Amino acid sequence: MLITRLKPALRFAHLDSIGLMRFLLALLLAASAHAAKTLDIYFIDTEGGQSTLVVSPSGQALLIDTGYSNFSGRDADRIAAAAKMAHVKHIESVLITHHHSDHEGGVPNLLERLTAGTFYDHGPTVDTSADQQKTFKAYEAAMEKQHRQIAKPGDTIPIKGLEVTVVESGGEHINKRGDANPFCAGVQPEPQDKEIAENAQSAGVLIQYGKFRFADLGDLTWNKEIALLCTENRVGKVDLFLSDHHGGETAPVVHGLAPRVIVMNNGARKGGDPKGWKTLKETPGLEDLWQLHFSVAGGSEANVSDTMIANIEEHCEGKFLKVSAESNGAFTVYNSRNKYSKSYAAK
């Protein structure tokens, strides 16, 4: 009799245990799903060029520039490897900031490895040099089978879960009011003849995920930085900034962006020049500067700590930097070379 009476209780206890396990599993899955909802940005080493893979929490991806051609498809291989890590099989949008070989050269190689949706650029090249014309013709040939759209200031690039706004393109900037930029005082434009080049045509974007804001302005030149950010800052303050022109000479007006972190996409012998590095390092309120490469020109005086450099040796393995951002503005930077990461709390 005693055994008979205990059976229902045992059965109930068994069911309760199963229910508890299911409940705990559901909590774990929910926590895992919540943890996965970050904006992930891969700063891919193209050894002095640019390629940045932006992966929305929705899983959709934007690729900004494609590095160089040649080198046996080195840069496209590195992009494909980053895409695989990010579980990206198709790139929804590709932004070519401008028609230089270190930014658009890798397009044909990329399309041999990954499928892509719409390509955005500022329009025809203004660079008449033979080498750049060759690169642009290869790009145009690749676009014959792709959907291509001219990016204009104020346009948005559709990536689910993100706000991607073109702030500069084709030598024009977004028509938007902004706060006064105190760092414009005393900064003078350079002679105009330096501005007649592809760099000045760069398409730049502001990417927002909730409170987190990231700006990439391509190879925007000194005068165009002034036009965009003075006397009003039309971009606003950002959390993360990718240095213009690979950390080359930069107008101090970029201090108005007030980034907490700057990433420099330099190569060992390209970009990262001491004067540009110093301007970036002196940004008021800057918490950290990270570099894709140790700059040979910078030496011991104009490089950050090795901990925050993805590639120390000139002949490198192509290590990357990764930023993972939450919608509340908190983010983490990860160095794939040494597995070092640093987190920046929401503000």
CATH no. for residue 292?
3.60.15.10
Residues 201-228: tens digit of each pLDDT: 999 999 999 999 999 999 999 999 999 9
The helix/strand/coil state of 177 is coil
Q: In angstroms, rounded to a whole number, what is the distance separating the alpha carbons of residues 154 and 137?
A: 27
Q: What pLDDT is recorded for position 139?
A: 98
Residues 69-86: tens digit of each pLDDT: 989 999 999 999 999 999
Q: In angstroms, rounded to a whole number, what is the distance separating the alpha carbons of residues 275 and 59?
A: 38
Q: What pLDDT is recorded for position 19?
A: 58
Would you place residue 13 in the very low, low, confident or very high pLDDT band (cuts 50, 70, 90)?
very low
Provide the domain count of the chain: 1
Residues 252-309: tens digit of each pLDDT: 999 999 999 999 999 999 999 999 999 999 999 999 999 999 999 999 999 999 999 9
Q: Is 90 inside a domain boundary? A: yes
Q: What pLDDT is recorded for position 131?
A: 87
Q: Is 2 inside a domain boundary? A: no
The arithmetic mean of pLDDT across residues 244-258, rounded, is: 95
Q: What pLDDT is recorded for position 7?
A: 46
0.85 cut: is pTM over it? yes
What's the CA angle centered on 172, arms 101 and 270, to 5 degrees?
30
Q: Is 326 inside a domain boundary? A: yes
Would you place residue 16 in the very low, low, confident or very high pLDDT band (cuts 50, 70, 90)?
low
Residues 87-114: tens digit of each pLDDT: 999 999 999 999 999 999 999 999 999 9
Q: Is 23 inside a domain boundary? A: no
Q: Is 314 inside a domain boundary? A: yes
Q: What pLDDT is recorded for position 249?
A: 87
Q: Is 104 inside a domain boundary? A: yes
pLDDT exceeds 90 at position 20: no
Q: Is 31 inside a domain boundary? A: no
Residue 66 structural domain: 39-342
Q: Where are the beta strands (DSSP E) in the chain?
A: 39-43, 52-55, 61-64, 90-95, 115-121, 147-150, 163-169, 172-173, 179-180, 204-209, 212-216, 232-233, 240-242, 261-264, 288-293, 309-311, 321-325, 331-335, 340-344
- pLDDT > 70: what percent of the chain? 88
pLDDT exceeds 90 at position 23: no
Picking from 83-97, 150-164, 178-192, 284-298, which range would have the lowest pLDDT averaged per residue?
Answer: 178-192
Which of the two residues, 2 and 136, has the higher pLDDT score? 136
> How far is the CA of 60 from the CAs of 63, 159, 160, 215, 276, in angstroms?
10, 6, 6, 19, 34
Q: Is 242 inside a domain boundary? A: yes
Would you place residue 21 in the very low, low, confident or very high pLDDT band (cuts 50, 70, 90)?
low
Q: 261 has which bridge partners?
A: 240, 288
